[in-house]
Amino acid sequence: MQLLIRSAHIVDAASSFDGQVRDILVENGLIRQIGEHLSVDAAVRVIEADNLHVSSGWVDMRVSTQDPGYEHKEDLTTVCQAATAGGFTDIAVLPNTQPVVDAKGTLGYVRRMAEGQPVSVHVIAAVTKKAIGEDFTEMLDLHHGGAVAFSDGSHPLQNPDLLLKTLQYLQPINGLLMNRPEEMLLTQFGQMHEGVQSTLLGLKGIPALAEELMVERDLRLLEYVTRVETRDSIENSAITEVPPALHFSTISTARSVELIRQAKAQGMPISCDVAAHQLVFDDSALADFDTNLKVNPPFRSTDDVAALWAGLADGTIDAIVSDHTPQDAESKNLEFDQAEFGIIGLETVFGSTITHNQNLTLAQLIDKLTVRPRHILRLPVVTIAEGQPASLTLFDPTAVWTYNRTLSKSKNSPFLGKTLTGQVVGTVHHGQFNAKS
């Protein structure tokens, strides 16, 4: 199949065509030619649009598929459709299914079901059996079975000895441990960020301390395992090119950003991400008790939101994720304290981030969706160059659109009905052009 992308602004720091407007000819899944005013015959499909931009394919590092086990909320087909509509060519999926992805059988099921989908699905396997934080899974077998990383997903690792041994166990295979930092004894029955707003609304708070303590703990444990020297003591160090051993998922507080910033300055092999919705809302948004805004980690203060944006700008935060968590109506149409946590976000990561952008350049934003996630997950490098595989995302960063419908089975999004800036045009992946429907 041949495709011609006409007059696209190339956004790819690794490409010699970065910042240029070029035509891109794709043939049989490869970029065959990049140039100006390319001539093709009438049989070639031409893709063109106003203010068309193109980058390497976007990667979402944190997606809940709910399949197997909770297919009434989402399944692998619908999650891939939503991901494509959101501009993603690759997604990393959490192990919190039923059964949990804690053995090669379930891992194999997910990988088989993902075959033929318009996105590449990368499986994050559980650290512990049933993701309950007690007994280790066979991580080496899961690694050889295709797991790209290890995490208990929505269940933060509470046992420090277990986390320590996991880091040690993964070292020989250059494996990645992903953990959402939360001290759950401090967050029991919590509904939203602990602060003035939670007091005014009469809701049990989730203190920032619960996240920050675990970031500090995990950093200390990693330091114990790796014995990393400070960056100042390493001359001509290439440590920033080494994939991280520990990844903090969905950080949300200013103190967490600062702790990770300091650890990176010391050369520790770490990375972190932030959920797109955390960049948009603060805790004042919950004044109307909208359960579609109930998430964990919760929306924090305006100072925390500003710190997250600053962390993205200076490179402390490596990636932006959707934290796509489908919940059916029965899980959300309840009193606030009874409703489940979670937002669907695959289709709105780009639009919500552009709309509420705080001084992040387009190149920086695209880096958080492409280069950095691939590096963290040990995925092959993708760049826009002749002869390279065509894994591309097409978009218009200035287009204004309304998010009226979702391809997800679940509808738990606070953005439905909202107008956003920054629209996906489609993706090119597996030799196919997938237009946003």
Answer whether residue 403 is part of any domain.
no
Answer whether residue 2 is part of any domain.
no
Catalytic residue flag (residue 282): no
- Residue 224: CATH number of its domain: 3.20.20.140
Q: Positive or negative CA dihedral for 426, 364, 151, 295? A: negative
Kindly tell me the burial class for residue 29, based on how many C-beta atoms sit within 10 Å of its own C-beta (0-12, 13-18, 19 or more): middle
- Work out how many domains the chain is built from and give that number: 1
Give the span between the Cα atoms of 406 and 85, in whole angstroms.
Answer: 9
Give the span between the Cα atoms of 139 and 155, in whole angstroms.
Answer: 17
Answer whether residue 426 is part of any domain.
no
Give the span between the Cα atoms of 176 and 166, in whole angstroms.
Answer: 10
pLDDT at 228: 46
Give pLDDT < 70 ranges for the chain: 228-241
Find, among 138, 112, 135, 113, the residue nearest to 125 by Cα.
138
Our CA dihedral for 333, 339, 345, 347, rounded to 10 degrees, sits at -10
Set 90, 323, 367, 396: catalytic member: 323
Give the span between the Cα atoms of 50 and 110, in whole angstroms.
Answer: 38
Q: What is the pTM of this model?
A: 0.95
DSSP string, 86-125: TTEEEEEE-S-SSS-S-SHHHHHHHHHHTTT-SSEEEEEE
Answer whether residue 391 is part of any domain.
no
DSSP string, 292-359: GG--SSPP--HHHHHHHHHHHHTTSS-EEE--B----HHHHSS-GGGSPP-B--TTTHHHHHHHT--S
pLDDT at 241: 63
pLDDT at 436: 84
Query: Which helix (H) or strand (E) segment is 217 a member of?
Result: helix 208-226
Domain interval for residue 104: 58-381
Answer whether residue 30 is part of any domain.
no
> What are the tens digits of pLDDT across the range 201-244?
999 999 999 999 999 999 999 999 987 444 444 444 443 467 89
Answer whether residue 299 is part of any domain.
yes
Report which DSSP code applies to 153: T
Answer whether residue 173 is part of any domain.
yes
CB 292 within 8 A of CB 325: no
Answer whether residue 165 is part of any domain.
yes
pLDDT at 383: 97
